[in-house]
Amino acid sequence: MADVLIKDGRIITMDPQRHVLDRGSVVIEGDKIVSVGKEVKVRADTVIDARGKAVLPGLVNAHTHLSMTLLRGVADDMELDPWLKTKIWPIEKNLRAEDCYVGALLGCLEMIKSGTTCFADQYFFMEDVARAVEKAGIRGVLSYGIIEQGDPKKRKSEIRVGEKLVKTCHGMANGRILTMFGPHAPYTCSPECLAQVKELAKKYKVGIHTHIAESKWEVGEIIKKYGKRPVEHLDAIGFLGPEVLAAHCVQLTGQEIRILHDRGVKPVHNPVSNMKIACGVSPVPEMLAAGIPVALGTDGAASNNALDMFTEMKFAALLNKVDKFDPTVMPAQSVLEMATVNGARALGLGENLGSLEVGKKADLILVDLRKPHLTPLSNVISHLVYSATGSDVDTVIVDGKVIMQGRRVLTFEEDKVLKEAQKASDDLLARKEAAK
């Protein structure tokens, strides 16, 4: 007797051969997939009728700042440097642990309802974020955002907080919660800080989540300070490696792309955020052509302003087509790979996530195809990337457990989270105004 049988759906396996079954089933026992095929005859405790639905791996949001859901819409239409210094950082000075817990719950709710089952996060009060992730039933790879600005005293305290997260939360929730170290960026962290982080990541056998080459402003700052471009600077100090999850990677030269490839760095494309803050267009086609498995992320809700990976997939395809004046770049299949198998690899979870294969974790979603904007159905991969939205997701399963069915989230009360998030955001902004 199996635990869950998902039957008669259109199965997008994302296996190495990228098999698509027009009608097939997936069998789950415990937290694992034990069968994927056309003819699956088995009894199960829970049977999910997937007729009219696409069954695919849960999407992986490889870069976000989850609790920034509370800052959604408070700082729009600005360049990155003033956006951070005059809007975001002054608000963040007033953050409290409970704010980040509530904001993280809201982010988990939004991601569950739009088909994301695993995400990488870098922010503050991360033990409280971990509490939210555990409650929500989703999978997260969490890191504390280290910002020390070259101050030795602050460096010590910031790294201590990052190390505490790794020691406290790595492996929580039956392994659903993992950790990384999270030095914010080369312009907010000194070479000495980055060197310490590198050693600690090696000691604890975890990854490093950072921002690299997001804007022209950043490139100018790094050149002014170190005489090299960001990727060249990080390579020169021995920071880069396969454990590095590098958000953005927008302002890159051909030489820097080669360095990223040679060092095994995992870039994360965040097209909506990059467009909104006008940072530029990441050379994703060039990175993919170089054999770099680029992942996909939304960035935080303050700079996106949503966490919908379906929207992100569409923009990832369209932005690069118009930038290159070439409609053949970034085909739908490649973009779906970025949001699934590439995302899993970027987070060091490629052996367990990203595809529907026997032995992998049972993290998957069902997308309702019986919608006007998804009809007629001629190419399901095309529809998922170019036509679908997060609101088409009907069912979400993480670690073999159904956490949303019929668009009803089963792990917590949606209305309560919405009310608490609104109050937390209002209170946070009021504290910021009072502190002026």
Q: What percent of the chain is modeled with pLDDT above 70?
A: 100
Q: What is the pLDDT of residue 80?
A: 80
CB proximity list for 12: less than 8 A, separation 6 or greater: 20, 54, 55, 56, 57, 336, 356, 380, 381, 384
**Confidence grade of residue 3 (pLDDT, cut at 50, 70, 90):** very high
pLDDT category at 84 given cuts 50, 70, 90 is: confident
DSSP 172: B
Q: What is the pTM of this model?
A: 0.97
Nearest to 354 by CA among 369, 365, 343: 343
Q: What domain count does the chain have?
A: 2
pLDDT tens digits for range 265-282: 999 999 999 999 999 999
Mean pLDDT of 60-73: 97
Instruction: Assign 79 a pLDDT band (cuts: 50, 70, 90).
Output: confident
CA distance 365 to 351: 19
Q: Residue 366: which pLDDT band, with cuts at 50, 70 and 90?
A: very high
Tell me, yes or no, whether 52 and 63 share the same domain.
Answer: no
Per-residue pLDDT tens digits for 173-206: 999 999 999 999 999 999 999 999 999 999 999 9
Given 304, 321, 346, the domain boundary residue is 346
Same domain? For 18 and 81 the reply is no
Of the candidates 67, 68, 76, the one whose C-alpha atom is nearest the C-alpha of residue 101 is: 67
CATH number of the domain within which 403 lies: 2.30.40.10
Cβ burial, residue 135 (10 Å; 0-12/13-18/19+)? middle
Residue 364: domain span: 2-57+360-409
Closest CA to 35 of 358, 356, 352, 365: 358
Could you tell me if residue 431 is inside a domain? no
Is 227 a member of any domain?
yes
What was the pLDDT predicted at 329?
A: 97
Instruction: Examine the pLDDT at 29 and tell me if it is beyond 90.
Output: yes
Comparing C-alpha atoms, which of 158, 191, 114 is closest to residue 388? 114
Q: Are residues 279 and 134 in the same domain?
A: yes
The whole-angstrom distance between residue 187's C-alpha and the CA centroid of its chain comes to 22
Asked if residue 239 and residue 382 are part of one domain, the reply reads no
Per-residue pLDDT at 435 exceeds 90: no
Give the pLDDT of residue 289.
Answer: 97
Higher pLDDT, 1 or 383: 383
Whether 237 and 372 share a structural domain:
no
- How much of the chain, in percent, has pLDDT values that exceed 90? 95
> Residues 119-148: pLDDT tens digits?
999 999 999 999 999 999 999 999 999 999
Is there a single domain that holds both residue 41 and residue 65?
no
Task: Say whether both 108 and 150 belong to one domain.
Answer: yes
Do residues 277 and 83 touch, judged by C-beta distance below 8 A?
A: yes
Is there a domain that residue 398 lies in? Answer: yes
The answer to whether 252 and 284 are in contact (CB under 8 A) is: no
Looking at the predicted structure, is the pLDDT value of residue 354 above 90? yes
Using one digit for the tens of pLDDT, what is the confidence trace for 329-352? Answer: 999 999 999 999 999 999 999 999
Residue 353 belongs to a domain: no
Three-class SS state of 305: coil
Q: Is residue 396 part of a domain?
A: yes
Helix residue ranges per DSSP H, 3-139: 80-82, 89-92, 97-113, 126-136
What confidence tier does 166 reach under pLDDT thresholds 50, 70, 90? very high
Specify the 3-state DSSP secondary structure of 112: helix
Residue 131 covered by a domain? yes
Q: What CA–CA distance (Å, rounded) separates 7 from 101?
A: 36
**Residue 272 forms part of a structural domain:** yes
Same structural domain for residues 49 and 96? no
What are the CA-CA distances from residue 371 to residues 19, 200, 383, 392, 412 (Å)? 24, 49, 11, 8, 27
Is 436's pLDDT higher than 80?
A: no
Do 14 and 132 belong to one domain? no
Q: How many residues does the chain have?
A: 436
DSSP states of 358-413: TTSB--EEEEE--SGGG-S-S-HHHIIIII--GGGEEEEEETTEEEEETTEESSS-
206 with 321, same domain: the answer is yes
pLDDT at 274: 97
Boundary residue ending a domain (314, 346, 378): 346
Domain holding 325: CATH number? 3.20.20.140
Residues 260 and 328 in one domain: yes
Asked if the structure places residue 64 within a domain, the reply is yes
**Residues 127 and 256 reside in one and the same domain:** yes
